[in-house]
Chain A
């Protein structure tokens, strides 16, 4: 039995046409899924009414996998096979992992593409595969709560996530079989949840301290448009580090060495976390761990965590400088992430921004709620909605030039999507190839930046040095993912790469893993594919019919008009078939046939928008 939700006036969906979309906060410590029902965004609980899903996966030798609270129970007993905080390893290379600290209880092995995997008794597990398990659990929860397959999800990532980390997140979603409507920055999601809730205008600062990452974002909200002005942070700093600082202090107090086994490390960390949480309520807390008994008070805690909080505040000041704002120009400060429950954090943030931070939406849930609101818009449930998010890239993108230097092509905090081209030339006579090394980062030296991809433009006709003109084009899509192409202009020779970062999965790996995970679910996949194509066909049919009725007679000649009508009729007929490939082919045909029409309509609306400018000039008496 289908249970109905309340729609906006005039927007009741046709039967079986309800679009199911969710927002997923794939967190370091906990993950959540949220959706909008009857206009209200809510996080979805599990069967036991728990909203948080601990981001923990436990692998057993017999391939049995447990996720969430169930997996968490293994953490103390079977540390090596219990993957915690995998988000910290997303899109990271083996060398990054060494710098993450030697306190990690895991054994790492180098994966197929230089990406580290965890060695478990169920085999080598990549961080992407472990994240996919978490996503799958959330998707299953959502599909049973919404009574049907999902049409898509908005998945949040820390604003400071680089290209490799974003790509790894998208790969995890692909593995989990969920369509990604958008990768959205966590602070932007939080701003959406607060901004829409309070109907505010002005500049919002989002201070997001999660388990393993810290983000600061400054956004301007103006009539439904959220424009990210600057973003910064540290993708390797979070509440876990607070726990670690406490754990280290315990070690010193107890005279314990650094040779603890993984189980002991886990016990110590969990005791540290409990003590930290207890100190939000009381002045001092008794500790009893690994045979040591003592007590920790707020003052000691503050001295332990202040250096870490200082680090976050420096990032805040930097973002203010980037956005050319003073701290008194901030209209609201929003707190996100479980670690902002710490009183010390709130105190210090208030001191810095001279403004009491907002905490009225649960800091654990606010990101998922914002993502759900965006998902509802992107899946098409709220036509005509004013909300628009203008996100930025957090780190500059560029190329290696002579002397091992990084030349920036697109600077950090540039609004996406964006495209930019830059011309280069050959430096040797007769040079026929040019190596292109794509980088991300702020530093001058290539060795200090992250290498994203390397490719070569070959077949440049031999010319004297400096005569060839090579145009390299960077395109960043609305998810913050990069595409690079290079073209020699005098000869027209071209090369193109979709940047798959060196630490991501390559397409082959994704395909292989997908195949493995879906051998049992092939029928499901077929059905899902059919449904997706039918929905797509319906949408195309509706949109194009409406467009034809509106502009067809004006923008098309009789023959073109007739052509499109015939193609549309075909599409409607084939939609009833059960062959998803056949439907897909027709969709492709209709899209191609209507390409020109679409472009003409766009141009017409641009002209209209421009005419709008001149109208308001008249209004203003200019």
Chain B
């Protein structure tokens, strides 16, 4: 089981963590909600949970809880710019259907 991220994502995560001044990494997860059932979680992490799986990606650490990991296995986290808009994107091979905007999905 593995989760990876692009260099762009790593750079931005490192920068945001530095600005925030505290935190040990980023949490990736899914929660049940939204128009197609599931949505992504992307949060700063201050405390590691005992059941978390930790992925070291260069300077940034990724934390994933076991339930989410099943949905996220093989995902690559990317940072993209679309015109003036910029942010993170989950390239998740498990997704079958997405709502139009990609904020929630179905497996």
A residues lining the B interface (CB < 8 Å): 1-12, 14-16, 37-40, 44-47, 141, 144-147, 199
Contacts and interface: CB of A to CB of B under 8 A. Distances in A.
Interface in B62-107: 80, 82-90, 99, 101-104
30 contacts: A2-B101, A2-B102, A2-B103, A3-B85, A3-B87, A4-B89, A5-B42, A6-B42, A6-B43, A7-B41, A12-B40, A12-B41, A14-B39, A15-B33, A15-B34, A15-B39, A15-B101, A15-B103, A16-B35, A16-B101, A40-B15, A40-B16, A40-B20, A44-B84, A45-B84, A47-B83, A144-B83, A144-B84, A144-B85, A145-B85
A489 to B, nearest CB: 55
Contacts of B89: 1, 3-4
B82 A8 contact: no
B102 A1 contact: yes
A1 B12 contact: no
Contact of B104 (A15, A39, A47, A141): A15
B6 to A, nearest CB: 13
B46 interface: yes
Interface string B22-36: 000011000101110
Closest 3 CB pairs of A and B: A3-B87, A15-B103, A145-B84
A9 B45 contact: yes
Contacts of B101: 1-2, 15-16
B55 interface: no
Given A38-B16, A39-B19, A40-B16, A8 B87 contact: no
A40 B18 CA distance: 10
Contacts of A12: 31, 39-43
Q: Is the contact region of chain A dominated by helix, strand, or loop, or is it mixed?
A: loop
A353 B78 CA distance: 48
B36 to A, nearest CB: 9
Contacts of B99: 15
A469 to B, nearest CB: 57
A9 B48 CA distance: 11
B13 interface: yes
A53 to B, nearest CB: 13
Interface centre among B15, B87, B101, B102 (most CB of A within 10 A): B87
Contact of B82 (A1, A7, A9, A10): A1
Contacts of B33: 14-15
A11 B41 CA distance: 9
Contacts of A141: 84
A252 B34 CA distance: 71
A144 B82 CA distance: 9
